[in-house]
Structure 1
Amino acid sequence: MGAPTIEMEERDEAGKVSATYVESASGSSRRVDVILPKNTYSRWARLINVFLPAGYPNSVTDDYLEYQIYDSLQAFSSSIAGLLSSRAVLQGVGVGDADASPTAALLLTVVQESAGRLATILFAHKLGNSLVAECKRYRLLADIFNDAAMILDCLSPAFPKPIRVVFLSVSSVSRAICGVAAGSSKTSLSAHFAMWGNLGELNAKDASQETVISLMGMLVGSVVVSNVSSTFATWSSLILLLSLHLFANYRAVRAVRMLTLNRQRANIVLSNLIEQGKALTPKDASEQERIFEWDGILRWRASEITGHAQIGVRLQLLLASTGSIAVTGSIQNPTINLADLLETYANERFLLWVNAKQRSVQIVLKEGCTTASQLKAWTLALMVTRRLKRQKLPSSDPQGVLMLLREELGEANRNFEDFLLQLTLVGWDVQSSMLETRSGFRINFPVGHNAEGKKKNASGRHRSAEIDLDP
């Protein structure tokens, strides 16, 4: 009996067969035949592949293509609109004006650049942490600021020079905010799209796409600028282009189905889990997601507002929400015994209190708090505020609030492990923390101090436990 034939296929990164190797034997001789498939890529397809990540579509998420189509459309329209605004800026600094001074134009540029760079520093400091968690919001917001800058540029030539300086400076600030928001949010979106750890290559291909689209936009824009000169035609073209730009951006971010749970997506998914016992997929949740949402709002199933929550706050803020008054760094007459609160959350990595009247929740995180603990705290906030909305409690009854918290915490503990399992099974990333949108604080307990030792550390109602706050 002859030796068996061996056949192997070689595939490229996209999963297509690039070669087939067949080893066969005839008597004492053996040979390997290399069978190359017919070229299944057209010239157009090979050109397109230059701008797509290696291994496409397997190397990226399902929402990548739709996002890139709309992103390319918005970049094209923005390039043309940018030429119209650039022409207005040149008119504003004196191009074509015999009385204009090069020095004045240079000084105006210095003022603009200074305003823009200061805005970059302040915006990055103020909202740096929320840019990742709310990347869809800030991706769209970046282009709103960019379009506002273009409108200000086009308005500036109609005003006297002192007012023109103000318009162009505000325009520079808007562009600076756009740069920070767009850069950070786009990085987060790219990390979402990259499935094979190919973030660097995906960004490089995205830069190639933008280069071609911007070049096409400049070529078409050159024709537009050459033929559009009247005020009415300029503004009509600008409004049309900016409308197309914002529409394409809106559709682009709507197409993205993030896998991480920020505050809004946590509201949608967790409330559905509590009420229906079923985890929504990232695709289902994205259909209910708002692009612009109030920070910290608690919504039940994306519709009913039940309250407001802050996570990662200072312990002082939680104590103040119990009805205490902060005077010169001290908490006077707290309405709840801190030791009782510590005992309630002895087995948790967080402390939570709710103002029953305002349905405002303060969540303090302990050192070593995991993403799962943060999600549990947010789940508890949803449960507590929903119950308070339906079952009014006297705002002056802190013990009643504490009892309610203990009941809801017990309910959350019975179901939360199952919640995490269901979320993981439908594709949610429960390892990445996206609930904190500001730099948060953590509390730690000195050695030998814990909830079990409350009798040693808290002898009366108005005595607070010794807790260190991280700076």
Structure 2
Amino acid sequence: MEEERGLVVATERYGSAESWKYLGKDGVMERRRDGSEGESRGNSIVGVFKSVFLPQGYPESVSKDYLQYQFWDTLQAFSSSLSGTLATQASLKGVGVGNQEATVAAATITWLLRDGTGMLGRILFAWQKGTKLDSEAKKWRLFADVLNDTAMFMEILAPYFPAFFTLIVCTAGIFKSIVGVAGGATRAALTVHQARRDNMADISAKDGSQETLVNLAGLLISLVLIPLVTDNPVLTLSLFFLFTILHLFANYKAVRSVVMETFNEARLSIVLQQYLGDRRILSPLEANQREPVFFEFRKTVPIRLGVRLQEVVQSPEELNLALKNNNMPFLLGVRNGCVCVCLGPEASVHDEIRAMCQAVWLSSMLTPTSSEPLPPFISLLYINRGALSVLRGTHFYFYFFKGHWEMVHESHKVMDTIFNPFLKGVEAAGWDMKRTLLDWDEWRVEWKTKSS
């Protein structure tokens, strides 16, 4: 049959979706699709849908977690759209829509106050937390959605407290402005992760198309819901809680499905602690599954990266202590209950990762592991055949009561032993070592050694 059509002179494909071949016979070249003829019609419909709502080159042009994340993100957007309809109806009722005694001026003032406080909240939040949104995108993404549901719940309840209506809607407006900043910024961070061909704009545009389609579906369903919930607060609250549960569940599954290959503080700490325990390197999937997506309030020793020199050392003697056993382009110190890292201008990405590893090690050593407070400076170090490992849990504890500079020196010794094998291991496991999501501040310091 193939010989009757001609010889195959060339083949081509469109990503992994379509493949074609060119047949030459009697001086004529004919283009035919690979596969059965019956598939062509169905594939063309699917192809149109993909071209409208999925990035060009899908699935090769996006990360492996793209489809799963988009499924849950679409579901949460749908439920949020329905919850937003209920909240909007309550807000309109609260400002006087349908009430003959309400004035246009009063409603306008209330709306302007809500928008004005929201603008201020947006500026203040971006100022205070803008740098955290890249390094902790999952946490802030989930936080934004919880805060959004809280704001909509306040808007639904506001009409039942007319004396405090303006205060409630202004507070809800501040919450929603924070949601706008956190949600938009973390969406951009996740888009950077998903883009594998420098196609951030295409992914963002198609994500917008998906959300528009979902909102359109939500709008159609809202047209049916509005007559049912009008003047029925019990049904309104019942539906709101149903949609909220669905919204939060879908958001949790969405951020849990994201597998980032770059290190932030949480992922690096998880991988390092596992390596110190049994010399096993966790893959990006394993580490992301363990990464917390809610903000934690347990007591730990915080880490500050890229600080000023005076936050690490405050005298020439302390500078000499910081440089002892240290030939790296960074300085570490413990000051005011924090592990502080001062970075030199020539530090590479690998130097930043090593500095963070040492800071994580120091933080874990200074953080109590039980309800009993431990002495302020304890080095937990076990030496076995030249290998250094941290012992915790049911293992034997070796307590060396030392000053914090001795612990800093100990951390250099630990990293001199384990960091190079650790670095090779994480690269082999599939981690991206060309960049990080560690939250470095901008201070860079050049210091002089005692000999110079």
> TM-score, normalised on structure 1?
0.81
Secondary structure in structure 2 of the residue aligned to 1:7: strand
* Structure 1: tracts of 5 or more residues without a match: 298-304, 320-330, 454-471
8 Å contact from structure 1 (residues 343, 451) kept in 2: no
Residue from 215, 239, 242 that aligns with 1:240: 242
Residue from 2, 8, 11 that aligns with 1:9: 11
8 Å contact from structure 1 (residues 306, 382) kept in 2: no
- Within 1, Cα distance between the matches of 2:174 and 2:54? 34
Question: 2:256 aligned with 1:280, yes or no?
Answer: no
**1:336-368 CA distances to partner (integer Å, 9 max, x unpaired)?**
6322323433x212111236x96x422121223
The one-letter amino acid paired with 1:241 is F
Greater CA drift, 365-374 or 223-232:
365-374
Secondary structure in structure 1 of the residue aligned to 2:169: helix
Residue from 67, 81, 84 that aligns with 1:82: 84
Match of residue 316 from structure 1: 310
Residue from 134, 139, 142 that aligns with 2:141: 139
Residue from 324, 343, 348 that aligns with 2:328: 348
1:233 Cα shift?
Answer: 0.8
Question: 2:417 aligned with 1:420, yes or no?
Answer: no
8 Å contact from structure 2 (residues 75, 247) kept in 1: yes
1:60 Cα shift?
Answer: 1.1
8 Å contact from structure 1 (residues 312, 442) kept in 2: yes
Match of residue 269 from structure 1: 271
- Within 2, Cα distance between the matches of 1:44 and 1:211? 20
Question: 2:407 aligned with 1:429, yes or no?
Answer: no
Secondary structure in structure 2 of the residue aligned to 1:32: strand
8 Å contact from structure 2 (residues 263, 436) kept in 1: yes
Secondary structure in structure 2 of the residue aligned to 1:176: helix
- Within 2, Cα distance between the matches of 1:191 and 1:97? 48
Question: 2:202 aligned with 1:201, yes or no?
Answer: yes
Q: How does 1:176-215 map to 2 (within 5 A)?
A: 176-215=177-216
Secondary structure in structure 1 of the residue aligned to 2:69: helix
- Within 1, Cα distance between the matches of 2:295 and 2:442? 21
- Within 2, Cα distance between the matches of 1:306 and 1:335? 29
CA 1:451–1:226 in structure 2 vs 1: closer, same or farther (change >3 Å)?
farther
Secondary structure in structure 2 of the residue aligned to 1:337: helix
Residue from 143, 150, 153 that aligns with 1:151: 153
8 Å contact from structure 1 (residues 343, 452) kept in 2: no
- Within 1, Cα distance between the matches of 2:316 and 2:30? 84
Match of residue 379 from structure 2: 388
**1:267-321 CA distances to partner (integer Å, 9 max, x unpaired)?**
01122223332321111111111102449x8xxxxxxx874322222222223xx
Match of residue 452 from structure 1: 451
- Within 1, Cα distance between the matches of 2:292 and 2:242? 25
CA 1:6–1:151 in structure 2 vs 1: closer, same or farther (change >3 Å)?
closer
Question: 2:345 aligned with 1:367, yes or no?
Answer: yes
Match of residue 408 from structure 2: 405
Secondary structure in structure 1 of the residue aligned to 2:83: helix
Secondary structure in structure 1 of the residue aligned to 2:119: helix
Runs of 4+ deviating beyond 6 Å = none
Secondary structure in structure 2 of the residue aligned to 1:352: strand
Secondary structure in structure 2 of the residue aligned to 1:261: coil
The one-letter amino acid paired with 1:427 is G
Greater CA drift, 380-389 or 169-178:
380-389
The one-letter amino acid paired with 1:243 is I
- Within 2, Cα distance between the matches of 1:365 and 1:67? 36
8 Å contact from structure 2 (residues 22, 32) kept in 1: yes
Residue from 314, 319, 322 that aligns with 1:338: 319
CA 1:100–1:6 in structure 2 vs 1: closer, same or farther (change >3 Å)?
closer
Match of residue 251 from structure 1: 253
**1:14-37 CA distances to partner (integer Å, 9 max, x unpaired)?**
3531x212446xxxx755343333
CA 1:192–1:70 in structure 2 vs 1: closer, same or farther (change >3 Å)?
same
**1:73-105 CA distances to partner (integer Å, 9 max, x unpaired)?**
111111111111001100111111111111111
CA 1:263–1:293 in structure 2 vs 1: closer, same or farther (change >3 Å)?
farther
Match of residue 101 from structure 2: 99
Greater CA drift, 425-434 or 129-138:
425-434
**1:164-209 CA distances to partner (integer Å, 9 max, x unpaired)?**
1110001110110000001010011111111121111111111110
Q: How many residues align?
A: 412
- Within 1, Cα distance between the matches of 2:166 and 2:30? 74
- Within 2, Cα distance between the matches of 1:126 and 1:306? 21
8 Å contact from structure 1 (residues 136, 253) kept in 2: yes
**1:412-451 CA distances to partner (integer Å, 9 max, x unpaired)?**
12332332222122221122232216x4422123xxx334
- Within 2, Cα distance between the matches of 1:372 and 1:54? 34
- Within 1, Cα distance between the matches of 2:98 and 2:28? 78
1:244 Cα shift?
Answer: 0.7
Match of residue 391 from structure 2: none
CA 1:351–1:223 in structure 2 vs 1: closer, same or farther (change >3 Å)?
same
8 Å contact from structure 1 (residues 14, 54) kept in 2: no
The one-letter amino acid paired with 1:180 is V
CA 1:36–1:434 in structure 2 vs 1: closer, same or farther (change >3 Å)?
closer
- Within 1, Cα distance between the matches of 2:428 and 2:306? 28
Secondary structure in structure 1 of the residue aligned to 2:263: strand
